[in-house]
C-alpha cells in the first residue's frame, strides 16, 4: 500500500512517500505563494526517489492550514445566512454577538431568528412555525446567499428542528449548502452556532481548495484518490472534507502527534512538537491526540467541538534569548531564522544558537557562537528545561511519569532527560512527522450527543450506529470499523434518563469505493 502524505503549513510544505510502514522518501520545502506549485514540486520530489515507480500511489493524504488561516486573516470567506431556531429564548444575544468586530464585518451574515427548538428533556420549547421559516428562506434567496448555518435550541439532543428547517430551505433555495449545528457541535448554543457559521462561511473555500489540490495532483501525475486530514487525526475523502472545513482546523499539530506515535511505535504518552516559533504539547491516547473538553478559540471566536487538547508554549528554534536575563522567548524570529540567527550570520541570539553552542546540534556556522559564555549557555538550557518540565506537567492527568516523544524541526531543544518523564524518545524523520501522520491516517466517525428517554444500552447502540454511518460516509470500510472511544455520562440536575454519549469508531480506508478515475491502479495490482 503506497501513500503520499503532504502537510501544507504556513512556512513549509512537507511530503513523505510510504510503502506499507516503510518511509521511502521525504522532503521539506518552503510553501509557495500559490501553495499548489509547492504541492506539485514536493510530490515530484518524493516520487523521484521511489524505486518502485511502476506501482502507482494508492492514496494521497493532505493536511492544510488553509481554513484556519482564512479565519485568522479574515479573508476568502463567503457571506452566509445564519438561522437560529430558538425564539423566544436567547433573543438578546443574537448570532455572532461575541465575535471580533472585524471578523463579523468580513463575513457580514444575514441573520434570521425564528421560533422553535427543544428543551433539555425533548419537549418542544415552542412549536416550529413553517411559514416563518419559509419567509426567512425567501429573504435568504433574495439576498443571493447559498450557504446557510442552522442552529436549533438543544439540537445535540434532537436535530428534528434543524432537519425540518433544512428541508424547507432546500425547497426554496435548491442549490443551498447547509450546515446543521447538530452535526458539528455540542451543548452550548453560542459556541455551536459559531462553529456552524464558520463552517458555512468556509465551505466555498473548502471546495475551491479541494479542486486546487486535485489539479495539483493531476499536474504531478498522480491519479490516486485523495483525502484531507481532520482535527482528530483521521482523514476524510476530499469531497466530504470540503463540506466540513472546520474539521481541518487543527490538522497540523494533530498530524504531527500521529506521526510521532507512528515513528515511536508508542500509543500512549506525551508529545512535544517543537517548531520554529512555538511548541505544542499534547497527549497521545491509543495513538490519537487527547481531545479538549473546553472552549477553544479560533481566530478570536469561541468554539466548542472536537479539537485536540494542545498547550502551546513560546519555545521554538527561532525563539529569541535575552543574553542578560537568560530569559527564553516568548518572542521569536519565526521564519527569518535562517537570516536572523547568529549561526546563519544574523545578529539575534536564538534558542538554535544556544543549542549549536552547547554542541547538541550542528546547524549553520558554529564559529559564530564560539564567543558565547559557558554560563550563558548552561543558564539558557536550564531555563528551557524548566519551561518544558512545567508545561509537560500541566498537561498530565496524573503524577505518574510518562514517556515523552520529541518531534518537530526543533526537537533538539528537548533535553535527554526531564523531570516527570520516564524517558525522552527521539524519532527518525522528526522534521516530517506531520506529513507522516497524514500519510498513515485512518478514517473515523464520531458522535457526541445527548440521548434521552432511552435505556443506557439502547443509547449506546444508537450512538454507535450513527458513528459507524458517519465513518462510512467519510470513506471507511464498514467491516474494519472498531470502537476506540466510548463514554457516557448521565446529565446532572436533569430528570428523565438524559445521558450524553460520546462514541468514536475508526477503520481503514475503503479503497474499492474510492478508486474513481484510477483504472491503472487496479490493473497494476
Least distance CB 341 / other proteins (angstroms): 27
Q: Quick one: which segment of 51-59, 93-101, 280-288, 317-325 binds other proteins (CB under 8 A)?
A: 93-101
Least distance CB 1 / other proteins (angstroms): 40
Q: Which is nearer to other proteins, 75 or 91 (CB)?
A: 91
Instruction: Report d(CA 463, CA 471) in Å as an integer.
Output: 12
The only residue of 126, 172, 326, 469 in contact with other proteins, by rule CB under 8 A: 126
Q: To 10 degrees, what angle do helices 189-219 and 36-48 make?
A: 60
Least distance CB 397 / other proteins (angstroms): 5
Going by C-alpha positions, the residue among 259, 311, 260, 258 that lies closest to residue 282 is 311
Instruction: Calculate ∠ Cα 31-37-43, nearest 5°.
Output: 90
Q: Please enumerate in sequence order all residues whose Cβ is within 8 A of that of 412, keeping only pairs 6 or more positions apart, or say none.
A: 355, 360, 361
Least distance CB 419 / other proteins (angstroms): 12
Q: Which is nearer to other proteins, 45 or 403 (CB)?
A: 403
| DSSP assigned state of 66 | H
Q: Which is nearer to other proteins, 92 or 347 (CB)?
A: 92
Q: Which is nearer to other proteins, 89 or 515 (CB)?
A: 89
The 380-419 site mask, x for binding other proteins (CB under 8 A), equals -------------xxxxxxx--------------------
Instruction: Phi first, then psi: give them for residue 60, nearest 5 degrees.
Output: -120, 130
Residue 467: how many CB atoms within 10 A of its CB? 26
Q: Which is nearer to other proteins, 143 or 386 (CB)?
A: 386
| Cα-only R_g, the chain | 24
Least distance CB 312 / other proteins (angstroms): 16
Q: Please enumerate in sequence order all residues whose Cβ is within 8 A of that of 381, keeping only pairs 6 or more positions apart, or say none.
A: 354, 358, 415
Residue 113 interacting with other proteins (CB under 8 A): no
For every residue of 191-212, which 3-state class applies, written as one string?
A: HHHHHHHHHHHHHHHHHHHHHH
| Cell triple for 515 | 478508486
Q: Quick one: which segment of 55-63, 259-267, 284-292, 489-497 binds other proteins (CB under 8 A)?
A: 489-497
The only residue of 494, 497, 513, 515 in contact with other proteins, by rule CB under 8 A: 494
The 282-321 site mask, x for binding other proteins (CB under 8 A), equals ------------x---------------------------
Q: Which is nearer to other proteins, 221 or 496 (CB)?
A: 496
- Say how many CA atoms lie within 13 Å of 297 toward its Cβ: 8
Q: Which is nearer to other proteins, 324 or 397 (CB)?
A: 397
Q: Which is nearer to other proteins, 29 or 126 (CB)?
A: 126
Least distance CB 134 / other proteins (angstroms): 23
The only residue of 42, 95, 112, 154 in contact with other proteins, by rule CB under 8 A: 154
Which residue in the block uniquely carries the three cell numbers 438578546? Answer: 92
The only residue of 11, 29, 90, 480 in contact with other proteins, by rule CB under 8 A: 90
Q: Which is nearer to other proteins, 98 or 473 (CB)?
A: 98
Q: Quick one: which segment of 116-124, 235-243, 355-363, 423-431 binds other proteins (CB under 8 A)?
A: 116-124
Instruction: Phi first, then psi: give them for residue 441, nearest 5 degrees.
Output: -70, 150
Instruction: Report d(CA 252, CA 266) in Å as an integer.
Output: 19
| Cell triple for 183 | 452535526
Do residues 256 and 263 make contact, with C-beta atoms less than 8 angstroms apart?
no
Least distance CB 151 / other proteins (angstroms): 10
* Share of the chain residues as helix, strand and coil, in percent rounded to the nearest 5: 35, 25, 35
The only residue of 22, 479, 493, 512 in contact with other proteins, by rule CB under 8 A: 493
Q: Quick one: which segment of 18-26, 89-97, 270-278, 280-288 binds other proteins (CB under 8 A)?
A: 89-97
By the 10 Å C-beta count (0-12 exposed, 13-18 middle, 19+ buried), 179 is classed as buried
Cα 362 to the center of its chain, rounded Å: 32
The only residue of 1, 52, 75, 93 in contact with other proteins, by rule CB under 8 A: 93
The only residue of 314, 491, 497, 515 in contact with other proteins, by rule CB under 8 A: 491
Least distance CB 356 / other proteins (angstroms): 31
Going by C-alpha positions, the residue among 470, 440, 4 that lies closest to residue 244 is 470
DSSP string, 20-53: TTEEEEEEEEEPPTTSHHHHHHHHHHHHHT-TTT
Residue 189 interacting with other proteins (CB under 8 A): yes
Residues engaged in binding other proteins (CB under 8 A): 86, 88-93, 97-98, 119-121, 123, 125-126, 153-154, 187-190, 294, 393-399, 491-495
Amino acid at each position: 500500500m503506497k501513500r503520499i502524505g503532504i502537510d501544507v503549513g504556513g512556512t513549509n510544505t512537507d511530503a513523505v512517500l510510504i510503502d506499507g510502514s516503510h518511509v521511502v522518501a521525504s522532503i521539506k520545502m518552503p510553501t509557495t505563494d500559490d501553495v499548489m506549485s509547492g504541492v506539485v514540486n514536493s510530490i515530484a520530489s518524493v516520487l523521484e526517489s521511489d524505486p518502485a515507480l511502476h506501482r502507482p500511489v494508492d492514496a494521497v493524504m493532505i493536511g492544510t492550514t488553509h481554513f484556519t488561516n482564512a479565519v485568522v486573516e479574515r479573508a476568502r470567506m463567503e457571506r452566509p445566512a445564519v438561522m437560529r431556531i430558538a425564539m423566544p429564548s436567547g433573543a438578546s444575544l443574537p448570532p455572532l454577538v461575541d465575535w471580533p468586530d472585524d471578523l463579523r464585518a468580513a463575513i457580514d451574515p444575514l441573520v434570521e431568528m425564528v421560533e422553535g427548538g427543544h428543551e433539555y428533556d425533548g419537549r418542544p420549547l415552542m412549536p416550529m412555525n413553517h411559514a416563518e421559516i419559509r419567509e426567512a428562506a425567501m429573504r435568504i434567496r433574495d439576498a443571493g446567499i447559498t450557504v446557510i448555518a442552522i442552529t436549533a435550541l438543544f439540537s445535540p439532543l434532537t436535530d428534528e428542528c434543524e432537519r425540518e428547517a433544512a428541508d424547507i430551505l432546500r425547497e426554496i433555495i435548491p442549490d443551498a449548502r447547509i450546515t446543521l449545528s447538530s452535526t458539528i457541535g455540542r451543548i452550548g448554543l453560542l459556541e455551536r452556532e459559531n462553529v456552524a457559521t464558520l463552517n458555512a462561511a468556509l465551505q466555498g473555500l473548502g471546495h475551491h481548495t479541494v479542486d486546487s489540490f486535485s489539479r495539483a495532483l493531476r499536474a504531478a501525475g498522480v491519479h490516486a484518490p485523495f483525502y484531507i486530514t481532520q482535527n482528530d487525526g483521521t482523514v476524510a475523502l476530499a469531497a466530504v472534507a470540503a463540506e466540513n472545513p472546520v474539521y481541518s482546523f487543527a490538522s497540523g499539530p494533530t498530524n504531527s502527534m500521529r506521526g510521532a506515535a507512528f515513528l515511536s511505535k508508542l500509543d500512549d504518552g506525551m508529545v512535544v512538537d517543537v517548531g520554529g516559533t512555538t511548541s505544542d504539547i499534547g497527549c497521545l491516547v491509543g495513538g490519537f491526540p487527547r481531545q479538549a473538553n473546553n472552549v477553544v478559540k479560533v481566530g478570536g471566536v469561541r468554539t466548542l467541538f472536537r479539537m485536540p487538547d494542545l498547550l502551546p508554549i513560546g519555545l521554538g528554534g527561532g525563539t529569541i534569548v535575552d543574553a542578560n536575563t537568560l530569559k527564553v522567548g516568548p518572542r521569536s524570529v519565526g521564519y527569518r531564522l535562517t537570516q536572523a540567527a547568529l549561526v546563519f550570520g544574523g545578529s539575534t541570539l536564538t534558542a538554535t544558537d544556544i543549542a549549536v553552542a552547547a554542541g547538541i546540534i550542528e546547524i549553520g556556522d558554529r564559529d559564530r557562537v564560539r564567543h558565547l559564555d559557558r554560563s550563558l549557555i548552561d543558564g539558557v538550557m536550564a531555563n528551557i528545561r524548566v519551561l518544558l518540565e512545567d508545561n509537560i506537567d500541566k498537561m498530565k492527568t496524573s503524577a505518574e511519569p510518562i514517556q515523552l516523544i520529541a518531534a518537530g524541526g526543533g526537537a533538539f531543544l528537548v533535553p535527554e532527560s526531564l523531570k516527570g518523564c520516564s524517558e525522552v524518545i527521539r524519532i527518525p524523520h522528526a522534521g516530517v512527522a506531520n506529513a507522516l501522520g497524514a500519510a498513515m491516517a485512518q478514517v473515523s466517525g464520531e458522535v457526541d450527543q445527548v440521548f434521552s428517554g432511552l435505556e443506557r444500552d439502547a443509547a449506546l447502540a444508537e450512538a454507535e450506529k450513527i458513528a459507524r454511518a458517519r465513518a462510512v460516509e467519510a470513506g471507511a470500510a464498514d467491516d474494519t470499523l472498531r470502537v476506540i472511544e466510548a463514554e457516557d455520562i448521565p446529565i446532572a440536575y436533569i430528570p428523565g434518563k438524559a445521558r450524553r454519549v460520546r462514541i468514536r469508531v475508526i477503520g481503514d480506508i475503503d479503497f474499492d469505493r474510492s478508486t474513481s478515475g484510477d483504472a491503472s491502479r487496479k490493473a497494476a495490482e
